[in-house]
Amino acid sequence: MDTSPTTRSSSTRLDPYVDRYAARTAGMTQSEIRALFAVASRPEVVSLAGGMPNISGLPLDVVSGAIDGVVRDHGTVAMQYGSGQGMLELREQITEVMRLEDIDAHPDDVVVTVGSQQAVDLVTRIFCDPGDVIICEAPSYVGALGVFRSYQCDVVHAEMDADGLIPDALRAAIAGTRAAGKKIKFLYTIPNFHNPAGVTMSLERRHEIVQICEEEGVLILEDNPYGLLGFDADPMPALRSISSENIIYLGSFSKTFAPGFRVGWALAPHTVREKLVLAQESATLCPPQFSQMAIGAYLAQHDWQGQIKQFREMYRERRDAMISALNDMMPAGCHWNVPAGGFYVWMTLPQGINAKAMLPRAVTARVAYVPGTAFFADGFGSSAMRLSFCYPTPERIREGVRRLAGVIEEEMELRATFGATERLDTLPMGNETPSTDTQ
Amino acid sequence: MDTSPTTRSSSTRLDPYVDRYAARTAGMTQSEIRALFAVASRPEVVSLAGGMPNISGLPLDVVSGAIDGVVRDHGTVAMQYGSGQGMLELREQITEVMRLEDIDAHPDDVVVTVGSQQAVDLVTRIFCDPGDVIICEAPSYVGALGVFRSYQCDVVHAEMDADGLIPDALRAAIAGTRAAGKKIKFLYTIPNFHNPAGVTMSLERRHEIVQICEEEGVLILEDNPYGLLGFDADPMPALRSISSENIIYLGSFSKTFAPGFRVGWALAPHTVREKLVLAQESATLCPPQFSQMAIGAYLAQHDWQGQIKQFREMYRERRDAMISALNDMMPAGCHWNVPAGGFYVWMTLPQGINAKAMLPRAVTARVAYVPGTAFFADGFGSSAMRLSFCYPTPERIREGVRRLAGVIEEEMELRATFGATERLDTLPMGNETPSTDTQ
């Protein structure tokens, strides 16, 4: 035992339990996003790092009225234990929400979860043994990669382009994995306004991806927190609208209403749904009844679709502010996409600049982002970063981009002076004709 | 694929995913309690089965005022994402709650969970590989046994008596497990008003159990949802008050306030706490912020200790009603304990009567209970049952016991007429001089 705690910091002191943890616990490490939160949340830092929705536009009087009705009229139900599957009334409302993406579903096949993060966890729990493979887009959602790692799964990335996951890349990933004698448990995909890549899968691709997975017997885990947050057009049909078998669809109220209730859901084929309910009962007994009734009352009493429209307009304004600022200020050699919805822009840096290594200098310059490596299971992405436009005001976004452009320019000058010292990763996306201009 | 769904019930139709699940999923089966809920919740059935707290005494106007203040004054914080560890303010309040059981803790060492069920899940997740052993009391909480099974752990039971877990039984379980070459990851114990056994660990035993586990290097998982619900005396000191190392303590607001918010917590040694936070972030990103602030406001604005006193009096009245009814009506050969708090009485039946086999007849007679087998990992407990007095009114409890006594008497008559046909389990507790009177 360490008897001199004052001589060691908490992060370096010995862990007396180090030999007792499960093998999976070695894969549980702080994500690069989480580690950033402490600094990025200081008020002087413009955070382009977090994915927090901006909920300042929510009508608190409406929410207050809805929730007060829940407490006064149904308090002893709302504060009681509930079903592991979630409340039927809310599951019926969820099927209405999904209808906006052409999904025809029965409430019996919906399982309410503690945010859609928990849905990713429960799906992985019921399907994946250590060493099983999950195919993910390159890049992919950091929180899902963390779940997959915690279940000791192997992630195989398949590349995307401006139309989303590339069918040939998926075919190659499936074939390569099977040739290596490994089991593929599912494809994890975010078809709409991808986190972090910002791209959306085209309609044609959707059909092709669904068909490939049916032919190959690969289950699809369709994660769709942002689908209703398109700026320019109606929602795209979900993959789940193309086929009701072989696809588990995940939805969330975190971005269309508010994340603090932690209510998401999984829509799954009947037999899978039964397993998910058992897993939910084991994990939490039941999702929070109070949260479910609060959301149910909000949906019933408020023009929630009108609220989503307001959110879309607010986020579009911020997307426009970011793209305009990037156009105006980023040095040559930086590349980014223009997302048609959601929260994120994916930017690749001039050759030889490492986004992770640069981060401390950016934070010193009072701007934060998430380095691209957070979104890969395999160390790629060091020349890229995710820029979030969801939370700061347009003015702050512009200021943040200004600061970031300055940091990148300094970095380029340093490199021009001293030359490249770091190995370059192959950029998995967005590196069309990498610029050789390091000035 | 089954193309004739009308010829098969949903429970027997083929699962096209049956070959794709993880090995752990085979261990996820519907608990005997859950399977009962559908019938036991019919109004004509007196359910002595469930463990739902009776929250009808909660002052809805106070709760409403507290929650309305959260929405109006802190709505955009309450409805936002939060920390994976939970809110500092609530963690501070939690240390105040634990002080009632002599626990001296720092808020840094508390992790908020989605009910204490999730705390059991996360602790098992970070510590247990398949095949690891968890020592549990005999009987033990059905929800914890389900978690342990879902992580493919082996449960070794250690017997209890009226003073709780028997030290020699614990020593024997440790020695036997190690002699078999297996790793013990922790002892799972419910020291207060045990679910389902109703017994409470004596003060002397607490010291002895803590000492054995320290000497043997066995971590203790102390699950304490009922500790503040004693009928006759002040709360007992927690095991965690005896030692701050080597013990993870779990608490919950589900029985002292309300379960519908799903807020529990784990208090863990510093390094373990860090792993639990990582596991929580992976499982849900963060526990529900809204629930945490609702509970925080209730604790801050209400005489919550006075409310717990009311709960205690209400539950004592129900305990008295059940014990009095059992004394008046149960046939000879039934044995039960008189719990000093909590929700449960454990009753053993006359020799040869199988509680699980008898259950359908009990439900037909409009009374429900949980058969003892639900609380054992190894098939024991068939001659015992858990009777809950927490939810029904005293009048309904008496009526339920009357119906149950009638069912048991019929069963005894059948056995007297046709003789025993079933193998008798060894009763693990409460079978002092089993009666041979089957009349």
Contact between residue B235 and residue B207 where contact means Cβ atoms under 8 Å apart: no
Distance of CA B383 to the CA centre of its chain: 20
CATH no. for residue A165? 3.40.640.10
Interface check for B252 against chain A (CB to CB < 8 A): the answer is no
Strand partners, A138: A159
pLDDT at position B186, please? 98
Q: How confident is the model at residue B420 (pLDDT cuts 50, 70, 90)?
A: low
**Residue of chain A nearest B21, judged by CA positions:** A127
CATH no. for residue B49? 3.90.1150.10
Contacts of B84 in chain A (CB under 8 A): 34
Maximum alpha-carbon separation in chain A: 70
**Single pTM value for the model:** 0.92
Closest CA to A80 of B122, B324, B373, B60: B60
Indicate if the pLDDT at residue B9 is higher than 80: no
Share of chain B above pLDDT 90, in %: 84
For B254-308, write each residue's pLDDT tens digit.
Answer: 999 999 999 999 999 999 999 999 999 999 999 999 999 999 999 999 999 999 9
Structure tokens at B212: 């054995």
Pick from A246, A274, A301: which residue ends a domain?
A301
Closest CA to B81 of A278, A335, A37, A138: A37
8 Å CB contact of A275 and B219: no
Same domain, residue pair A193 and A245: yes
Q: Kindly give the residue spans of alpha helices, DSSP state H, lying in B46-130.
A: 60-78, 88-99, 115-127
Same domain, residue pair A128 and A90: yes
Flag whether A4 is in a domain: no
Q: Which of residues 211-240 of A touch B (CB under 8 A)?
A: 219
8 Å CB contact of B127 and A21: yes
Same domain, residue pair A158 and A261: yes
Q: How confident is the model at residue B433 (pLDDT cuts 50, 70, 90)?
A: very low
Flag whether A11 is in a domain: no
Same domain, residue pair B95 and B195: yes
Same domain, residue pair A217 and A90: yes
Flag whether B12 is in a domain: no
pLDDT at position A432, please? 34
Q: What residue ranges of chain A have pLDDT lower than 70?
A: 1-13, 31-37, 420-439
Same domain, residue pair B288 and B338: no
Contact between residue B22 and residue A126 where contact means Cβ atoms under 8 Å apart: yes
Contacts of B262 in chain A (CB under 8 A): 114, 284-289
8 Å CB contact of A146 and B21: no
Pick from B255, B275, B301: which residue ends a domain?
B301
Same domain, residue pair B121 and B234: yes
Same domain, residue pair B125 and B273: yes
Mutation choice for A interface testing from B1, B24, B79 by most A CBs within 10 A: B79
- How is residue B333 annotated by DSSP? T
Same domain, residue pair B256 and B405: no
Q: How confident is the model at residue B34 (pLDDT cuts 50, 70, 90)?
A: low
Pick from A301, A317, A333: which residue ends a domain?
A301
Q: Based on the structure, what is the number of domains in chain A?
A: 2
Same domain, residue pair A212 and A323: no
Same domain, residue pair A101 and A41: no
For B50-109, write each residue's pLDDT tens digit.
Answer: 889 999 999 999 999 999 999 999 999 999 999 999 999 999 999 999 999 999 999 999
Q: How confident is the model at residue B432 (pLDDT cuts 50, 70, 90)?
A: very low
pLDDT at position B33, please? 62
Flag whether A111 is in a domain: yes
Q: Which domain holds residue B385?
A: 31-56+307-418
Flag whether A123 is in a domain: yes
Which of A139-153, B26-40, B241-255 bottoms out in mean pLDDT, i.e. has the lowest? B26-40
Same domain, residue pair B140 and B288: yes
Flag whether B15 is in a domain: no
Flag whether B7 is in a domain: no
Flag whether A186 is in a domain: yes
Structure tokens at A214: 């049916």
- Higher-confidence position of B427 and B143: B143
Residue pairs between chains A and B whose CB atoms are closer than 8 Å: 241
Q: Which residue type is seen at A376?
A: F
